[in-house]
Structure 1
């Protein structure tokens, strides 16, 4: 009898301790949307698991006309959350130190909802959880599937550029190369414009979508653009 009571007491302790351990692994709170698949929840930056939304600076194309689908993806995620409370279960940590997690609001899987509505693609590199949702969105031409676009992963890769080359002086000492000038026919070729978000961004010749970008101002060198308060069109 005494032995049985001890066993029941121990079981009760384990049962009481289990939820506390599980809760410690969960991130909860209202969310601030950073972009189409990233949020800040309870003081932690969270990347949604298994989905890949257009980057904030990414552009889609409708019959050749640019569409700010990166901004629209962020707005779609904001609309889904609507100030509600999120419960995020961590799965991993990415190269940027963000928590990669599955998040729910009112019992709804945010990642699944985002892909099903066409505002993110299934991130196949990390799993096949949302491939079916993507197929449905693609079939119905929902969200970004109504336009032409690069998959976000390919867009990010296309934005990477090699560092400025270095040169060797006559004495053999390495020095930073002179700033490259982007000009042709006496005209500067770096395009500067303002995003809807209010950022001042410049695009170099040869960058994806350079030809589709409407220039508000031109620069000959990156140094000139940066001195004027512009930043290069890049993604995280």
Structure 2
């Protein structure tokens, strides 16, 4: 599920200096996101119909969101996918342009009328949206809500959004805790500590052990003789 209205400001803030490439078989999560190589990829430049979204074609309800998800699934199933990273979003998803057999997946979804082009983004699929509209492809032959409008009006989408942001915040805090955790250092004795240039060792410092503090004053190996 894309949450572009809220996260659009974050896209590109963490853009890599050199575009990173990903290859592999992918699983479609919905109409504009993929799971591959353990990461989630959001197709750059488009916003596809949400899986729960419906469209009205004449007097009949069409499950257009499910159709969009199935269309992206058909494009990638069993195929080798190549994704070029363009940035990341607030949820840690990789914003990317992805291709299969040289076909741009974002472009294909817009061309079929199953996604709308996002303004002011790179790539710009505006011309493909105009063509889809002209051909009455997909949603352009129906009455529908723009995906962003649907998410704003859908309570479940807002709930999912809060849950995903909370999970991302938890992940970031866990990574920060790992980065800030004191490193475990172990010296078998004062000779090894001196060889490492760590003596004297004070209580609370990495590598200090009470067994190395002969006089128990909180400073270990302070009088260890120099090696000759």
**Range class of TM-score, shorter chain:** 0.5 to 0.7
Q: Whose relative contact order is higher, 1 or 2, with alpha carbons under 8 Å and at least 6 apart?
A: 2
Residues 122, 128 of structure 1: 8 Å contact kept = no
Question: Which structure: larger Rg?
Answer: 2
- List per-residue Cα deviations over 1:13-36 (Å, max 9, x = no partner): xxxxxxxx96x8111110100000
The alpha-carbon deviation at position 105 of structure 1 amounts to 0.9
Q: Does 1:110 align with 2:105?
A: yes
- In the alignment, what sits opposite 1:171? none
Residues 44, 106 of structure 2: 8 Å contact kept = yes
More helix by share: 2
- In the alignment, what sits opposite 1:87? 82
Moved over 6 A (4+): none
TM-score, length-scaled by structure 1: 0.57
Q: Distance in 1 between matches of 2:157 and 2:47?
A: 19
Q: How big is the alpha-carbon RMSD for the aligned residues of Structure 1 and Structure 2?
A: 2.1
**What is the aligned counterpart of 1:62 among 57, 69, 72?**
57
Q: Distance in 2 between matches of 1:131 and 1:101?
A: 17
State the aligned residue count: 144
**What runs of 5+ residues in structure 1 fail to find an aligned partner?**
1-20, 161-231
Residues 44, 123 of structure 2: 8 Å contact kept = no
Q: Distance in 2 between matches of 1:56 and 1:124?
A: 22
- List per-residue Cα deviations over 1:200-227 (Å, max 9, x = no partner): xxxxxxxxxxxxxxxxxxxxxxxxxxxx
**What is the aligned counterpart of 1:147 among 142, 148, 162?**
142
**What is the aligned counterpart of 2:43 among 31, 37, 48?**
48
Q: Does 1:130 align with 2:125?
A: yes
Distance 1:233 1:110, change over 3 A: closer
**What runs of 5+ residues in structure 2 fail to find an aligned partner?**
1-16, 162-228
- List per-residue Cα deviations over 1:78-101 (Å, max 9, x = no partner): 122232011101111112211110
More strand by share: 1
Q: Distance in 2 between matches of 1:142 and 1:69?
A: 12
- List per-residue Cα deviations over 1:48-90 (Å, max 9, x = no partner): 0001110011111112432111100001111222320111011
- List per-residue Cα deviations over 1:108-128 (Å, max 9, x = no partner): 111111111111110125356
Q: Distance in 2 between matches of 1:61 and 1:128?
A: 29
